[in-house]
Structures are given as C-alpha cells and as structure tokens.
A and B are shown apart, each in its own frame.
Chain A
C-alpha cells in the first residue's frame, strides 16, 4: 500500500472512487462466482462430491488388441448367427456360421471404428465424458433450417432435457387453468419438467426418489433380505447424488462434479451393460452406478432403438413386457442390488416389432425424433408438461407419409385420406395398448407383491382397449397443466367438455365391475374399506369437490380453458387415460386437484405404510424449502396459479409433533391423458368400428349434435 502510485491515486478524489468501485466489482464477482453457489447449495441441501466409478486399470497394448479382436469377432459371430437363423439343422447351421466367419468380405467388417481411434490415441481406459471430449469437444449441429453451427459438446449435453429434466422456455403448448400459457408471455418463467412435476404414475418425484435401496423379502428367498435398487435416477444421464437441482435456480449452472458424471455410453454404446446400473452408497449418499468399462466404450456410435429403450421401455411397453431383445429386462436388472420392476405399463404403447410397424421395419428412434445435436425433439404437440428441448420442431407421421398416406386401396384411398382432416393417424392405426396399461392406480392401499418381496401400489384397473384404456379426444396440440388434452369439435361449438365428461367419468360397466372386484380384494387387507364408496370415488372423482368448488371449476373451464380448446385445428387423437389416489395436501386445493405428496420408496416398499412413507419424504430438505418464502416467491406461487389453486399456501403439512396436517387421500379430480404415438399397426381400423351405433367412438361425448350422430352412425355406404 506504500506504493507511491496507489497513494497518489488514493489521495485524489476520483482515484479513491475508482479504487472503491474496483473493489466492489471484484467482491461482487467473487460472490456470484464462488460464494453464491455455495450458499445456495447449502440452502437446498444438495451434496456434490467427485464421482468415482470402478473403471479398473489401464489395459496394456496387448490386452487392448485382444479386447478389440474379441469385440469384432463377437459382432461377426452374431451376424453370422442371424444370417443363418433359417437353417433348422443345428449342425448345418454351425458349419454355415464357420464358413461365413472365414469368408473374406465378412472378415473385413469392422463395426466398431473406435477400436482403431482409441488405439491410435493411446486411450487404454474409459474415464467418462473426459475421454469422449478428448476428440469430441465440439460437434457440428444442423438446425431445422439447415444452418450448421459448431457447439461445445459438454454444454450441449448439460443444457439438454436429458440432463436437466426441466426447461424454463415457453412453447410447452401447456396452459395453466388460469388460462395463461405456461412460461408464455406475461408469466414469470419457472422450471418445469420431470424434475419438479409430481406424478401419480411413479408416486414420487426426482428429489425424493432419486437413488434408493430397498430391503425386499422375495418369496423365493425364504425370508432372506435382498437389497434392491429403485429410483428415478436409474434412467437419467447425470450421475450425481441428486437430480440437477442447481440448474433450476437462478444464475446457477450444474457443478463440475455432475458434468463429469454424465453417462455418455448409456445412449451411445450398443454394448452398454444395464446390469451395472444399480444404486451405490458411499459416505456422501446414494447415486447410480454406470457401465464405464473400456469394452463398452469401444462400441460407441449413434444411438439405436435399443439404447433409447434401455430407459424408455418403462414408458412404452412397460417394465414387464415379454420377449424383449437380449440385454433388456428382466435380464439386465443388475448382478446384485437388482432394480425393481414396476407392474402396470405407463403408456402401454410398445415399440417392439410385434406391436409397432416402424419397429418391425428396423427403424431407430432418431429416424423420426431427428436430433439437433443433443437436443431431441418430442414434437410440437404434447400434454404432459415434460420439458421439451425443441418445442417447435414437429415429429409427425406426415413428415414421411405425406398428406395423402393411403396409397394402396384404390377404391377407398381418397376417402381414407379424407379422414385425415378429422382424425390423427394414431386414431385408426393404434388399435389397442398393452393389456397391462394402467388406468387407475391406488397408492393409498399397498398390497404385498410376493414375487418381488415388497409392498406395491394396487393397479385397480388396467386395460388396453379403446374407450377403456385409452379414449378418443379432440386435440389441437394444447394441454392443461395437469395433462389433459385440449381441443374442440370442429363442427359444433360449446358442446365438447372433456374436463366435465370423458376425463372425470368411468361408466363402462366392464370397467366398473373390475374396479369393484379390485376393491373387494383390497377389502381383505383393509376391512374398513367401503367398497361402494370406493367404486364411486374412483369412477367419479368430482365427488371430492364441494358444490362451491364444482361451480368454480365450471366457471374456470368456460372462461380460461375453452378459449384454449377453440384454438387452431383439432383432430381426434387416442389418449391413454390415467388416475391415481394419493395423499394430498388440502391447504393447496383447487377445483382441479390439490398438491399431491410424494412417497419415500424404501418406507413404502418395506413397511406398506403409505402415511409414514409420506412423512419421510416430507423431511427431504428440498421439500421443506418448497414451503419457505424464497421458493414460494421464486416458483411455487406461479406453479399454483397454473394449477388453478391461486397461491401457494406455504404451510408445511407436518405438525410440530410430527403428525401430518390437513392431508387427505383423494383421486385426482380428473384423469390425466397421455399421448400415445407408438404401437402403430399397419392395418388401420375398419369403417364399422366407428361408424355404427355400437362403435368405439362416443360421438355424443365428442360434442356432435344428435342429427350428425345419426348420420355418422348409419352411413348409406355401410348398409
């Protein structure tokens, strides 16, 4: 400080001011860069630590060469086996395989170019993203308008939905019950996506069910405890101790540890071993293991249908789909601490070749979902509030099949094409969903699953049939905050109202009989259960609303939702319908539902005591923070406005003595409707399946006037 320049500057009036300003700037910068993230991390109670995986020692040159040769040999062997599959005589087949393996052109096939790349670059061990980024630090990305950009690969991944499971961008095509587009004009953008969207299918969300270890007592183990892995993190590419909570908060990026934990190989390596994907517990907490073997890393390439389905099988055909290809469930659940398999398919639209014509044609997911870098489009229509990286990029049948897709049936082709004006392709070409497609799920009355040895939710009603497991709804590409498809009858205004009709009533006698049957089964374990009341509430969830709430609901539908329904062009789409009974916090109740409370998986699965499980989940630091002022102002109030509740009460639903306050079990006030676009059949429906008085379409519920219904149900051509 004795330096004459500084002293002279300090003595000068303006000099002193400049020095002060510089000091403040430096202090401010340091706060933003180092202190603020630390404070925030401490506040939300997340843990970050360097993530280590068992990657073994680097291979010697000889070991590497042997590994490369083995991989290539295995690939050729598999191809030879596939090529000779039609040979019935086993000995002849073996000989044919041998001949092929010795064939010159066959021997030249080198399916894994990275064997050579790694060899030349001297890579003898796979160390996660670091290894990939050695060569791929930037990638070329082609935009939808054909422009090519060079982007930083790591940043591209970290800001993709597959990493962050959230987006604050608009263009979700989702509307709040207050009539505003989510994160649209005039809103305070909030992070929405799987990270914070509670859902009745998994019964928890990413924070409270990230990586859990469950003590199961399967029947085959004779009472022995078997540790199982469970949680949302099993399907996400980040490897940390928690989801990417940091990216939710203002001015906060994902920490370096999380970036180093990205699992590149789960999408890019055809040889990925899902058996490695189980929960590991260390001194910092629990997280998901990854396959980081060099052997797997050498098989990298573009994602295939199977790599996508490692995770997405869960929401397509479901965890328990039969006859999946090698390397899928139930053979990939882990060598130990096996992952739990969930009953009841989430969407029930399988992407296996027996079920879907595109899968049968050998197509891969990215043929239709054409990525821009690591951003993968899911279409510009969607009702489920799951974040969308490219909300304006279309993924639709017309992209390949043109506007006149029926070409073969020369007599009816124009007529069939004519129907495209009113019907989506899916309406005819998805004939049914899988039979275990879940429609009603009861989380409040757990039942013992002897095979898995845990208590699980009870699927009260499963069906894959039209009108039961899925319904036909008008859809203009918009949906509500609670996943209800919106649209309107194009020829008759003010008659169609799914939020008071299709999505709140189950009146199919067969469905009612099954729900009653399930209730009777539940009654054996829960003797207090009133079967008739149970059936009534499950099939008519509006009974949970007071007359005042019901009136408010109707008013909000007419004033806020109907204008959104009338937007654009509506067509009929099939929607898988779903409802669940969960514990709700009644302090935040509105005409469309109340805040549902998450379950803690280990408590739920091990004890079968759902209320205790809720209590445990509510102790999670981030759930507590949600009930505090900063989160209320930052996002919860806005969340509740979309929800139709108005404002977030902010009242933590646990009393000082630890008992729950103001918590009740209810079905959601309407069924959610999830889009189904896979499980496409080559043959569409026959005319009479819809155009008959006993058809699968409920024309009245769709808002058609009586005379039009008569016309549609008795076409002169059908006689």
Chain B
C-alpha cells in the first residue's frame, strides 16, 4: 500500500518537478526529438533524444542528468572517452536498501552468464534493454492484467528482436525473423500474446532472472506449461498466485489455482462459446416453457367455451 501511495505521489509530482539549470543545459540539445545519428559501423540509428516528460515520469525522474553522466559531459563537444564509457547502473542499484535484498546481486550474476553478455561483451548493458530515461521499476509496472504485462515485458525483447534496424545496430548483422526461428511453435501469435519471451528463454524459475539462454538451450517442452503445476504458475502468474493466496487463503488458492488449467484451457473463444451455448440452452428452455404455458392457457379457455 505504501508503495502504491509512493508511486501515485511520484506520478503526480514528477511532471511538476522544475528542471535544474544543469538539466536545462543538457536538454537544449537532447530535448530536440530528432537528435540522432547513423552509426557508421553498423548503419543503425543512434537516438540521443530525451523526452523530458517521459523522463520525469520514469523511475529515474528524480535524478539529475549528472547523476549518471559524468564530468566528461559538462561542455559541448563532450569528451570522447566519456562517450565511450558504459553507465554504471549497479553502483547505485547493488546493495541499496531501496531495493529488495540481494535482488541486483542475482540479476548481475544472471546477466553476466546470459547469452547477451557473452555474445556482445562491451556492447550489451542494462540500458540496452531498460531505457534508463523511460524505465519504470517493477513495483510501478506490475499490472493486474496479465496480457498487458505480457505485452509490456515482451516489448523489451521485441524492441530489438522485432526490429532489424536495432539488431543491425547492435550486432552489425541481421537475424532470421522471429516467425522463422519460432516456426516449430504452434499457434505462434496466441503464444506471444499470452506468454512472455523469458518464460522459455531463461534458465531458472526466478521471476527476475536475467540469465537469458542461448537459443539452443531455450525451453522447447510444451508440457512444461501445459500441465498441472504449470511452469507459468511460478513465473508469469506468481504475483497473481500470491494475491489469491492473500485473498483466499493458502489452501483454497492451491485448490482453485489449477482448476482451470492455465495455458491449456485459457481460451477466450472457448469461454465465450460455452457461455453462448449456456445462454442458448436457457433461451430454448424458457421458450419451450413459455410455449407450453401459452398452449395450456388456450386449451383451458377453449375447454371453458366448450363447457359453456
């Protein structure tokens, strides 16, 4: 609750926060929304523009530009060395009381072993996926609505993997399209709407696992999810399970949780079809009853007439 309040307060206050003179200086240039250049090595677009409003509303909205960007950026033109240097996210994030204990230690561990870090050493940073100028921490972005959460999380991956420009920018080459690399997966679009990329592409069941696997190690086992005790209950539906537990109590949640098999029967069309079938049955029943009642009444009336 406190977190929610804090979040609301942040959201309300953020856009009103006056920019510091330093930030103003930076935004004279970086506030220009077309501030970008084509990287001569990769041919990809490097965007240097900051949207002040998005920035203010992000988790880092309270920070100054200088908090992360060091002294080499004070004057224009900036120092070349400073431009080459990576951001040091973990300097703030690791071992900080503001964040859950050991969270970033495990993130760092996962990340360094991940395919991204190994394939693109010195080129892949936290900021490659998490735009620090727009990033919302987990406690802000956690949504009740699972499809929305899926969309949001997958957006981080698809930002590069669904965009040849970005892939080219990062790796200098083009990857096969997602449709091709996932051709084995039936019902592709539905899966992408309902499941996050990381469910299959990370090595553990921890929710914030950053250990993105090489594609040869990614999960290809349908039964891992499409079963009782689905893998998804420990990942995507973890929060929901927690909440249900709070609401319904541990035992009830456990009972209810698997009654409707996630990933297998979660089919909106089926839901609607059964509802429609139910409604139709009811309608027929009611119609039948009504017709019988009408006929009976008529017969009673004619009997009376006959009597008379």
Contacts and interface: CB of A to CB of B under 8 A. Distances in A.
B37 A417 contact: yes
Interface in B17-76: 28-30, 32-38, 40, 45-46, 48-49, 76
B37 A407 contact: yes
A415 B48 CA distance: 9
A22 B188 CA distance: 61
A403 interface: yes
A422 interface: yes
Given A411-B77, A414-B48, A717-B76, A404 B32 contact: no
A406 interface: yes
B76 A419 contact: no
Of residues B33, B34, B45, B48, which shows the largest number of chain A Cβ atoms within 10 Å of its Cβ? B34
Interface in A384-433: 402-404, 406-407, 411-415, 417-422
Nearest to A415: B29
Contact of A407 (B28, B34, B40): B40
B35 A414 contact: yes
Contacts of B45: 402-404
A417 B40 contact: no
Interface string A413-455: 1110111111000000000000000000000000000000000
B37 A406 contact: yes
Contacts of A417: 34-37
Interface string A686-719: 0000000000000000000000000100010100
A78 B304 CA distance: 114
A414 B38 CA distance: 9
Interface string A329-345: 00000000000000000
A404 B169 CA distance: 14
A647 B138 CA distance: 63
A402 B38 contact: yes
Contacts of B76: 415, 717
A420 B34 contact: yes
A643 B232 CA distance: 66
A404 B33 CA distance: 11
Given A403-B45, A411-B77, A414-B48, A421 B38 contact: no
Given A418-B32, A421-B32, A413 B77 contact: no
A414 to B, nearest CB: 4
Interface residues of A, number: 19
- Interface size classification for chain B: 10 to 19
Nearest to B45: A404
A605 B36 CA distance: 56
B32 A419 contact: yes
A512 to B, nearest CB: 36
A222 to B, nearest CB: 63
Contacts of A402: 38, 45
A405 to B, nearest CB: 9
A402 B36 CA distance: 11
B35 A421 contact: yes
Contacts of B30: 418
A260 to B, nearest CB: 51
Contact of B29 (A406, A407, A413, A418): A418
Interface string A264-278: 000000000000000
Interface string A589-603: 000000000000000
A412 B30 CA distance: 13
A428 B239 CA distance: 55
A568 to B, nearest CB: 14
Contacts of B36: 403-404, 414, 417-418
Interface centre among B29, B33, B36, B40 (most CB of A within 10 A): B36
Interface string B195-221: 000000000000000000000000000
Contacts of A411: 77
A403 B34 contact: yes
Contacts of A406: 37
A420 B36 CA distance: 10
B185 to A, nearest CB: 30
Contacts of A422: 32
Interface in B175-202: none
Given A411-B77, A717-B76, A418 B38 contact: no
A418 B34 contact: yes
Contacts of A419: 32, 34
B38 A415 contact: no
8 contacts: A402-B38, A403-B36, A404-B37, A411-B77, A414-B35, A419-B32, A421-B33, A711-B28
